[in-house]
A and B are shown apart, each in its own frame.
Chain A
Amino acid sequence: MAVAGWLLFVVVAAYLLLSNSTFWIYVAGLTIIFAISALGLDWIQGRAGQVSIGSAGFMAVGAFVAAVAVEKGVPALAALVLAALAGGFTGVLVGLPALRLRGLYLALATLALQFITMALGTEYETASGQIAGVPALNTTIGPISLTAGRSFFVALVILLALVIIVLQRLYRRAPGRAWLAIKENEMSAGIIGLNPTRWKLSAFVASSALISVSGGLLGFYTLRVDSESFSLDFAITFVAIVIVGGLGSIAGVITGAALITVTPYLLSTWTSSLPSNLPISQWLSSNIDYINSGFYGIILLAFLLFQPRGIGGASRALRLRLIRRLDRTPGAETAVASRAAGRSSSTAGGTPASRASAVLGERKLTEHSEAVENALLAVDGLGVYRSGACAVDSVDLTVLPGEVVAILGRNGAGKTSTLRGISGFFLTERSRVTGRIMFQGRDIRGMSPMATAKLGLVLVPEREKVFPNLTVAEHFRVIGAPRSEIDRTFELFPQLANRTQSEAGLLSGGERQMLALGVAFCMKPKLLMVDELSLGLAPGAVVRLTAALKEFQQQAGIGLILVEQNVSAAMELADRVYVLEAGRVESSGRPSELDEETLLTTTLGG
């Protein structure tokens, strides 16, 4: 693959040189300069995971420093070194706070850099009387003239090849792995002895220097440096290149640079070659400049929506599919199957006990299918995968009408994921649910949380169970509860009646749970699922909430699933108990049937 890429690179470069087309050699040289800058952006964004829209700013720094240095008599090579230093230094200034701030900080800070460089550049141009830009004429390194032309093109081809080789080596070795580790998870990277601060800053400084050098080259190439040309649109062009090319893929980024730089020229050529009597060609020829100037934005949007991993990601996926197809010989298939089996047993914990319980689970299946007939909820082989990781492996679970079921298990056993899997995920939570979830005889797997809620499946989540900025009274307006229902809730929880006008964020933990339960009651659930009713609450509050829940459940005759870490609270309420361990049902039965000692070890982590 790598060989084919290099071959293509050399062939294209050689073809252009032989073609002798001054125009296309110019365009290709520009593409290479943009590709170098885009590789710098990919370095900081695709490898070190920092978001930057500062390409134009850094390129302006490099371009101005190099042009002004050359103007003052500094040799071109030294001027480019100065550009790299200036870029690196600017990178430190912009990047230091990024070590502490996340999210939008770097995006906004690089935007600020963009404005500052533009203003400074304009000021310099005005002050020095070079309103059309600082000239960068007749720059040479040895025999190579650094203006657009064949010799500079050859030099650029070699430079890009060197940059690719150096970056590939860096990414493959310790630095690349360190950046990847930090990008994936900064905290755990710190634990294994990496210093995130040092690595993040080093990536930012080095990539800024690289981007600045490309800016310096661009100035030499186009003979002058004008602040106007380093606009925000220019900066976004590079974001478009790395998104279209695919973050984290060198070949992809170079392809992206070629696509975005060359396409407008091709479109222009194509438009002018159209027969002029067609109505579309008239429209095109009067608007082609606008279309070309917005081309990168349109293709950027298209890729974000339909191919967010870019060309690099798409080709990687294609290659994988090809390999799999070639692999599909009988022998290979069993190998894959056994590998898959090994993986699933390792996620299940692989202890003799869990394997035994799996056998037990099979025996229970016949019993289970009979119960499914009249069950309110029948879950069959539920698997929940959240951003690729298996949270629930295989869970069978039934709730009969009017039954209270408790799900016990230690942290990470898959209790919350089971409830979320039943209630449904948003499409974009990148979660996958497998198995069958029958609610009142209807398969609800894959429905959104809102759709299942409309069917009468109400979940009281563990964490965000109330809206912190809404008052108690407003909570009931969200669901549109009638006055009588609200009054009944306040009778059940008199404590809430005095706090109708306070924001939920100011309530105590117990009061929040009361509010969450009260709202859930008013939604007239057919099946209520409460995640961690007792977590973090005072024993007195737990008793009161449990009593209210029991009373409501019996009056309404609904099904109830309780997820609990507090074994005694659950045992008191539940008709049946499931114990989860590593995403599977470890044991289940009536509370009286379960051995208290195993219960304690599985839930408390003995």
Chain B
Amino acid sequence: MPVDELLSLLAEGFLNTLALTAISLPPAAALGLLLGIYRACSSGWARAVLDAITDALRGIPLLALLYAFTYGLPELGLPLQPQAASAIALTLCSSAYLSEYVRAGVLSSAEGEILAAQSLGASRLQVVRYVVMPHLLRTALPAIANEAVYLLQATTLAGLVGVYELLSAARTYNSKYFDFWTPAAALVAIYAALSVAVEKAVSASGSLGRRWLKLR
């Protein structure tokens, strides 16, 4: 069992997996938060359009989105590297889901307070800044942590459009040595460990953010 070759293959896959997750998560979080807050606090045609787009991004299979960006865009004259195309598809899909969690979370925890603030005559911006934001840190953080883990698992799909991530590495090893048990076991262990690590990382940055906000 050529362990060192297995390790080097997995290492390369590991780095790509991590990179893809790290590149997609922050913009997905930012976009998801913005969209979620906007959709929770507004009405009208702009909101309806955003609702439709979000529903579509959540309803279309992620693999279809990945295919669309990897194979569909080059035809329109926008050739993208598989990593870039996958990052965009993952970001868009994740932000759609996140915006939904944030929207529902805000409405469930702060609906009455939003009503009270509006009754005092506060503008939409004031409502968001003084009533929604404090509640957000409570609802958004677990949602982002959850989504981060989901994103990590979704990187395996990127392997189907040309990104050399962990599963691809495992399959390469299998095709060379006809042994899928070893890499599969390694994979399960790595993903389990990574999920825990990603969750901890998100909560840690969340507490840091909360402390920074209290200091202001």
Q: Do A and B bind each other?
A: no
